[in-house]
Amino acid sequence: MQRSTKNLKLKPLEEWVGDDEVISYVAIRADENRLGYVSTKPNISAVFPFREDGIDRAGVDRILDEAGTGLPAYYEWRTWSGCYFCFFQRKHEWVGLTATLSCSRRP
């Protein structure tokens, strides 16, 4: 897990939640070999609906297509989802982002 995920997303979420009972829906697919973050706070329960229902990458693509949204445009150059401006991106991902932003600013 990236430090940014823990420090900029998960830690602030846990602080905001406080002692309220929460169910955290984690979007890790059935075909991913990572565990994801499970809070140690007893009031936060993690569930993994894609894993529980056996939904893999093709299944997620199908869900997005059937909903009429499809994949976000940044998947044309990104290899990993996450924050749009993630500072842990690979060099070619920065190049793709820069090219996309440069094109969108041209008159």
Residues 10, 53 within the same domain: yes
Q: How far apart are the first and last CA of the chain?
A: 40
For range 69-98, the mean pLDDT: 78
* Tens-digit pLDDT profile for residues 9-53: 889 999 999 999 999 999 899 999 988 888 999 999 999 999 999
| Both tokens assigned to 47 | 């569930």
* Tens-digit pLDDT profile for residues 10-19: 899 999 999 9
Residues 54, 6 within the same domain: yes
Residues 31, 41 within the same domain: yes
Nearest Cα residue to 4 out of 68, 83, 62:
83
Residues 54, 40 within the same domain: yes
